[in-house]
Structure 1
Amino acid sequence: MSELVTGEAVALELRPARLPSRALAVLLDLIVAFTVYIGVSIGLAAATASLDDAAQVALAIAAFLLVLVGAPIAVETLSHGRSLGKLACGLRVVRDDGGPIRFRHALVRGALGVVEILVTFGVVACIASLVSARGRRLGDVFAGTLVVRERVPLGQTRFVPPPPPWLAGRFTELDLSAVPDALWLAVRQYLTRMQQLDPQVSWAMAVQLAGDLATRTGTPAPADIPPAAYLAAVVQERQARETRRAFADHAAPSAGIPNAYAPPAPAAPPAPAPAPANTPIGPTPVAPMSTAPVPQPPATGFVPPA
């Protein structure tokens, strides 16, 4: 389900980039890449003038692969889908569900880009983008990615609302490995627009998406949680897992190096002073328990319609 249409004919999907903006971004990237490649080739030619022809050809091929293939893959991986050309045009490469890409996505796009863009001078990429409904080239199709527009009017930007605070950590044991990217995309886009839908339509869509999500996870949705709140809590849990996975290596302190952000060790409690001689020995009086009512969780907007 790459696209979900509501009862009010609202299509929930990402904003794909058009072919002209993508072509301009690719052209800027190629200008920068070929400029660097020419400089590296001149430097290699001057440094390897004493070598034989076979060694010079091998170094030329290595420079070509490193500058025109490896460098774009590294840039897209480290910048999470934003090369220099895409940054200038306000574009970004994302997964089908709207999440950031990883090395495997950039590797597939870069490998197929050699054939689509460099070998055929962009003809194959242009034809594939024109045929695709969302303007994807072959590299995007095989990598499961999409080039979207980042710069949109401020009034059109939407954010996924957080779940109620009392649901924090409720779904830490949920298995999310079988949930496809298309379903994540539908859930996220529904959460960003649920306040604009008719209450009955919004409730029906939340029930449908919650049922699909519960089927994929193998765990029924809790009956005491509104479906929209359940969707928001599961999406937040997935984002938390991706954040921990992405920053696991950076968050762990190195062995033998003290962590500057660790809280200070608690000081040892002082030794109790000796009691005076005339102090009576007996049980310590206990303060009466407070009869104040226990605060309840705050009300949230994830409630069923009237």
Structure 2
Amino acid sequence: MESVKVNTSQHVEIDYPVSGLGERIAARLIDLACFIGLYILFIVLVLMTGLSGLSDASPYIFYVVIGLYFAAYVFYNLICEIFMNGQSIGKKLMKIKVISLDGGQPSIGQYFIRWVFRIIDFGMTGQVGGLICIAVSEKKQRIGDIVAGTTVIRTVPRTAFEQIAFRPVEEDYVPVFNNANELSDRDMELIHEVLITFNKTHNPDLIYTMAARISAHLGISLPEGMNELDFLRTIVKDYNYTTSMA
């Protein structure tokens, strides 16, 4: 998963999971779908009430409503991003948001600049200029993002807790295999990858092969009543405990 390195105002570099091109396209399509839905609803209401009746009530109502609709369409992204913390409806559903390159929330000026440059990113380039720029730029920025000093990131954590290889162990934990710290970090990463793969595929051969490799490397045998899966899980806990206590 790609990430963007952001320098915060405290001069600390933080890696954020950057939004992919597909997610940004999907968010834009969702936003467009919302406006298409509203437009269809408006047409249906006009047909139900009768266009002539609406015009008789006030000859300007129809045009005022159409004008408000297109004004909402033009200013939609700017208003949403300012008042929805860098998100539109589409971005919120896709779990992405706009941030400043200093790691904070963009200013109104930054939102305004990236909104103005939609003319170049989408209007003047047939909807493809911004997409090409996102695809080739280092920080996945469209032209408006580059000028405004912003980018778009994912709002969900990249890694769930159960996917973390090196977890803290309880202080009162008693290790089963005291020489587990003879393994390397790479060995532990491989064990972790095998456990994750087993949970997805339920292929026991992966567990048997890795358990045999680890037990041979450490010169130990599996205790009576402990299967290969429990052995690998125990090795992970023992390694985390012994290395944290070192």
TM-score (norm 2): 0.49
Of Structure 1 and Structure 2, the greater helix share is in 2
TM-score (norm 1): 0.40
